[in-house]
Amino acid sequence: MDFLKFIEDQTQPGIDRLKPVAELAPFNTLDSALVGNKKTSDFVLSLNGLWKFDYRETPHHIDKDFHTPEYDDSSWAKLPVPSNWQMHGYGIPHYTNTAMPFPLDPPRVPVENPTGCYRRQFYIPISWKNRRITLNFAGVDSAFVCWINGKKIGMSKGSRLPAKFDITDAVQSGDNILAVEVVQWSDGTYLEDQDMWWLSGIFRDVYLTSTPALDLEDIFVKTVLDKNYRDATLVIDGIISNRSKKKIADTKIEFSLFHKQTKERLFSITKVLSVPSTGTASFNIRKKVINPDKWTAETPTLYRLVIKIKNGST
């Protein structure tokens, strides 16, 4: 779909965007998983920093080939990501409370639609070969389309929602080019209009993740207290995905609960699943926890759930 048609099509919140799931961070050691800082993971690459940037008053005035690898961006400015371009001298920050920032005509937006074009070079390590690689945008206002090495990856709207794309087939080991076109207004603007400042651009983190063929696709964790608010039941529902062409019959999933402050391991449970080739398998775990420390504003006690996936030999 053409990007200018996409930003006025209320039936399309995203194109080639992966479905929303719980935010997960892969680690290669238990110690790093217990710390839980994804920025230190060998399988997460932050793309935050200075990007090449070109600002135009309308998407009709951008260089149409800016997303190609050979494009010369040497004359472009540099803009920090994450940031809002109005805070760096591009466009005008403005505030509205009850009025729309442009004439009310949903789902259409003005032709004069401020546009930012971004470019960023990044490096894929050889250790990520044969692994799935995803591109993650934590927040972009208002809508955007992105390319890797000149190949269109996808589009997204919903500026306060993360957008995730599978770029495995678009990247190569070594140097790569990411290009992003962002517009200030889209049909999503009608939903987001409220008592607020209008600020645009890639305003939250951008990062890559690398995961193996056998991976945790999604998870939902609930803590259910008993009627006396003393003991609890930990409920874990999730999905394991297998992107290989071979069935994995002996997938072992180990669930370990740790006290975040003391690092004490409360328990570990192992579940064995059979995951079909290029398919998924679901799991459900229920475990009683005797008198856990409760979270309050005065005593904000937390626990960390670490999940280890093994397929016999790995």
- What CATH number does residue 56 fall under? 2.60.120.260
We report the CATH number of the domain holding residue 263 as 2.60.40.10
Cβ atoms of residues 216 and 309 within 8 Å: yes
Which residues neighbour 268 within 8 Å (Cβ) at sequence distance 6 or greater? 254, 255, 256, 257
pLDDT in tens, 278-292: 999 999 999 999 999
Share the mean pLDDT of the chain. 94
Residue 51 has pLDDT above 80, yes or no: yes
Same domain, 231 and 172: no
Q: What is the C-alpha separation between 22 and 38, in angstroms, rounded?
A: 14
pLDDT in tens, 77-136: 999 999 999 999 999 998 998 888 899 999 999 999 999 999 999 999 999 999 999 999
Same domain, 136 and 241: no
Query: Tokens representing 184?
Result: 């200030």
Element (H, E) at 34: helix 30-35
Candidates 206, 200, 149, 146; CA nearest to 172 is 149
Same domain, 173 and 226: no
The partner residues of 288 in beta bridges, in order of sequence, read 233
Query: Tokens representing 309?
Result: 């996936």
Chosen domain end from 182, 211, 240: 211
Query: Tokens representing 119?
Result: 């470019």
**Predicted pLDDT of residue 312:** 54
Q: What is the C-alpha separation between 111 and 258, in angstroms, rounded?
A: 54
Tell me whether the omega of the peptide bond preceding residue 82 falls within 30 degrees of 0, making it cis: yes
Chosen domain end from 183, 211, 239: 211
Domain count, the chain: 2
Same domain, 206 and 244: no
Query: Tokens representing 9?
Result: 């099509």
Same domain, 154 and 260: no
Same domain, 117 and 234: no
Which residues neighbour 149 within 8 Å (Cβ) at sequence distance 6 or greater? 69, 170, 171, 172, 176, 177
Same domain, 245 and 163: no
Q: What is the C-alpha separation between 297 and 224, in angstroms, rounded?
A: 19
* Residue-range definition of the domain harbouring residue 296: 214-310
Neighbours of 269 (CB within 10 A): 14
Chosen domain end from 159, 186, 211: 211
Residue 50 has pLDDT above 90, yes or no: yes
Instruction: Give the DSSP per-residue string, 172-212.
Output: -SEEEEEEEEEES--THHHHH-SSEEE--EE-S-EEEEEE-
**Predicted pLDDT of residue 314:** 45
pLDDT in tens, 260-281: 888 899 999 999 999 999 999 9
